[in-house]
């Protein structure tokens, strides 16, 4: 059973943007570290197992805004939103912005020095209902101006990184960006992480409501980055397979359309491989419904079957002429 909502409950919230990196060749570890060196006073984090993942230092954005509460009451909140960029296998770029809402000890705004000492924390200056804030934040409609909007922070950071002179602006395939907005409330005592709902709005916005025993917004953000990465991979694969006219188009044209998938995407599927301890239960739920990996494996098998069918005649001609 989930804990009863209280105005004193902390809320974790954030948004993730995911895009193909605009460069013809996947970046090496060294070049990726150069790309994401967003702060000279903080190191870039690099991990090569189970795949290459490079994470920028956190950047802070000061906010003085209203909370997007569904009930209409929008208390003022002040603090900082943390943002970072993540590059997977030198090919898929994500920017993530997130914060932890913690009730202020008073009802008056303090000097900025107070908030800078609490990175990634936003303090509402009036009592609020946690569930009301979560419902307002995850509403399908665009967030109104003047309210807490980590997505705007993530979008600006994504545009900034994509303009870097290291990139030749020639992506190996056309794909869109995806947006995943998430919010988390505390789980019941002794319970693991769980997902309350996962939705896709008409404008393509993904929203995720979570219950988690982890109070660290960066850890929950890592889970949501992993979810956003695999949602983007699946969405992109579906779009490229449809564009290739798989099973109905000219064989050579289909092979040419499928080659970027084989070269750049198929090896990236590793759901949950980098999810922090205590949060893996969310992926277990998503693998049951809607079944991310089942759909991915079905698409991958179709691609491999089509490649085999189209290349078999060519192989026979080569053998006959040798």
Contact by Cβ (8 Å): 141, 135: no
Q: What pLDDT, on a 0 to 100 scale, did the predictor assign at position 1? A: 37
| Over residues 234-243, mean pLDDT | 90
| Over residues 287-314, mean pLDDT | 82
Contact by Cβ (8 Å): 93, 157: no
DSSP string, 42-68: SPPEEE-SSS-EEEPPPEEEEEEEE--
| Over residues 34-55, mean pLDDT | 95
| Over residues 302-321, mean pLDDT | 66
Q: What pLDDT, on a 0 to 100 scale, did the predictor assign at position 313? A: 58
- Per-residue CA distances from 120 to 21, 29, 155 (Å): 26, 27, 17
| Cβ-count burial 141-151 (b if 16+ within 10 Å, e if not) | eebeeebbbbb
- pLDDT single digits (tens) 61-71: 999 999 998 87
* pLDDT band for position 318 (cuts 50, 70, 90): very low
Helix (H, G, I), strand (E, B) or coil at 100: strand
pTM across the whole model: 0.91
Where is average pLDDT lowest: 129-143, 175-189, 296-310?
296-310
Residues ≥6 apart with Cβ < 8 Å to 183: 11, 12, 13, 14, 133, 134, 137, 138, 208, 209, 210
* DSSP H or E segment with residue 20: strand 11-20
Contact by Cβ (8 Å): 235, 143: no
Contact by Cβ (8 Å): 6, 71: no
Q: Is the pLDDT of residue 4 over 70?
A: no
DSSP one-letter code for 190? T
| Over residues 238-252, mean pLDDT | 78
Q: Is the pLDDT of residue 321 over 50?
A: yes
| Over residues 198-220, mean pLDDT | 91
Contact by Cβ (8 Å): 138, 189: no
Tell me how far apart the alpha carbons of residues 54 and 239 are, in angstroms, rounded to a whole number.
26
Tell me how far apart the alpha carbons of residues 232 and 235 are, in angstroms, rounded to a whole number.
5
Where is average pLDDT lowest: 34-38, 135-139, 282-286?
282-286
Burial label, 164 (beta-carbon count in 10 A; 0-12, 13-18, 19+): middle
Tell me how far apart the alpha carbons of residues 220 and 242 are, in angstroms, rounded to a whole number.
33
Q: Is the pLDDT of residue 25 over 90?
A: yes
- pLDDT single digits (tens) 265-299: 999 999 999 898 889 889 988 888 778 999 999 99
Helix (H, G, I), strand (E, B) or coil at 116: helix
| Over residues 152-157, mean pLDDT | 98
């Amino acid at each position: 059973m989930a804990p009863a909502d209280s105005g004193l409950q902390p809320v974790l919230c954030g948004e993730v943007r995911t895009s193909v990196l605009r460069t013809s060749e996947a970046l090496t570890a060294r070049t990726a570290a150069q790309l994401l060196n967003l702060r000279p006073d903080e190191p870039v984090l690099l991990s090569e197992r189970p795949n290459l993942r490079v994470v920028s230092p956190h950047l802070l954005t000061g906010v003085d805004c209203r909370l997007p509460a569904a009930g209409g009451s929008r208390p003022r909140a002040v603090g900082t939103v943390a943002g970072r960029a993540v590059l997977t296998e030198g090919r898929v770029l994500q920017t993530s912005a997130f914060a932890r809402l913690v009730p202020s000890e008073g009802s008056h705004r303090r000097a900025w020095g107070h908030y800078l000492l609490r990175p990634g924390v936003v303090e509402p200056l009036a009592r609020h209902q946690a569930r009301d804030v979560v419902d307002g934040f995850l509403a399908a409609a665009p967030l109104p101006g003047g309210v807490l909007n980590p997505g705007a922070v993530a979008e600006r950071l994504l545009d900034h990184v994509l303009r870097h002179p290291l990139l030749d602006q020639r992506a190996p395939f056309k794909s869109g960006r995806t947006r995943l907005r998430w919010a988390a409330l505390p789980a019941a005592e002794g319970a693991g992480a769980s997902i309350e709902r996962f939705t896709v709005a008409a404008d393509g916005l993904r929203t995720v409501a979570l219950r988690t025993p982890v109070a660290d917004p960066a850890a929950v953000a890592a889970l949501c980055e992993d979810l956003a990465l695999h949602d983007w991979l699946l969405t992109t694969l579906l779009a490229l397979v449809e564009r290739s006219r798989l099973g109905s188009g000219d064989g050579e044209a289909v092979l040419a359309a499928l080659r970027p998938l084989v070269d750049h995407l198929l090896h990236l599927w590793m759901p949950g491989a980098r999810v922090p301890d205590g949060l893996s239960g969310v992926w277990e739920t998503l693998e049951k419904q809607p079944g991310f990996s089942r759909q991915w494996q079905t698409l991958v098998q179709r691609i491999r079957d089509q490649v085999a069918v189209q290349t078999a005649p060519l192989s026979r001609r080569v053998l006959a002429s040798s």
